[in-house]
Amino acid sequence: MSEEKQNEQMLEETAENSENQNDELEKLQADYDELKDAYLRANAEFENIKKRMEKEKISATIYANESFAKDLLDVVDALEAAINVEASDEISLKIKEGVQNTLDLLLKKLEKHMVKAIDANGEFDPNLHEAIFHVESAEHESGYIVQLLQKGYMMNDRVIRSAKVSVAK
């Protein structure tokens, strides 16, 4: 073989090798980009799950006593009913005073745990109030609360019992 042909053949082989290497490099780059994208997506998904779990943990901590607080509302109702009973003799008045003190203490403890009564004055809000019935009222505008039938309560920003009210037509 002549030297010129050998050089030509070597150039072709070198060009072929270079082309093969470029193809292989492009394939490796595409694989790398695909794996990098998959990694970034998996990492982002992991971070989202972590944030969601943290929010759920905080929410669970905040509202852990919601069911217990809701059960205590029946006790509050019973104590309030006892206070509204007419008392005329000294013993009855002392008992009524004791019930009032017990109610005040219970309400303070509930408030300490972020349970508070819902305001039932003013305009009807379906997120906070439950309209039991509608009444004609010359004193109130339409859509305003006329009477509170049962107190409602919230724990933090969540309604645990809607206030039951009558609403002006």
Asked whether residue 139 falls in the same domain as residue 116, the answer is yes
Sign of CA dihedral 103, 107, 110, 115: positive
**Are 137 and 146 within 8 A, CB to CB?**
yes
Per the structure, the count of domains in the chain is 2
For 124, the 3-state DSSP assignment is: coil
Q: What pLDDT shows up at residue 21?
A: 84
Asked whether residue 75 falls in the same domain as residue 154, the answer is yes
| Domain stops at, among 46, 62, 78 | 62
Q: What pLDDT shows up at residue 99?
A: 95
**Distance set, CA 159 to CA 6, 27, 70, 81, 151 (Å):** 89, 58, 10, 22, 12
Q: What pLDDT shows up at residue 115?
A: 94
pTM over 0.85, yes/no: no
Task: Dump pLDDT digits (tens) for 103-132.
Answer: 999 999 999 989 999 998 889 999 999 999
Asked whether residue 45 falls in the same domain as residue 97, the answer is no
Asked whether residue 93 falls in the same domain as residue 148, the answer is yes
The span from the first CA to the last CA of the chain, in angstroms, equals 110
Whole-angstrom distance, CA of residue 117 vs CA of residue 35: 55
CATH number (domain holding residue 148): 2.30.22.10
Task: Dump pLDDT digits (tens) for 32-50.
Answer: 999 999 999 999 999 999 9
- Range 141-165 average pLDDT: 92
| Domain stops at, among 11, 44, 62 | 62
Quick count: other Cβ atoms within 10 Å of Cβ 40?
10
Asked whether residue 80 falls in the same domain as residue 121, the answer is yes
Q: Which domain holds residue 33?
A: 1-62
- Range 89-114 average pLDDT: 94
Q: What pLDDT shows up at residue 151?
A: 95
Asked whether residue 129 falls in the same domain as residue 76, the answer is yes
Asked whether residue 22 falls in the same domain as residue 55, the answer is yes
Asked whether residue 74 falls in the same domain as residue 39, the answer is no
Q: What pLDDT shows up at residue 166?
A: 94
Q: Is the pLDDT assigned to residue 13 strictly greater than 80?
A: no
Asked whether residue 16 falls in the same domain as residue 58, the answer is yes
Q: What is the mean pLDDT of the chain?
A: 90
Asked whether residue 93 falls in the same domain as residue 17, the answer is no
Asked whether residue 84 falls in the same domain as residue 135, the answer is yes
| Residue appearing with tokens 């090798």 | 17
Asked whether residue 86 falls in the same domain as residue 163, the answer is yes
| Domain stops at, among 10, 31, 62 | 62
Q: What pLDDT shows up at residue 1?
A: 58
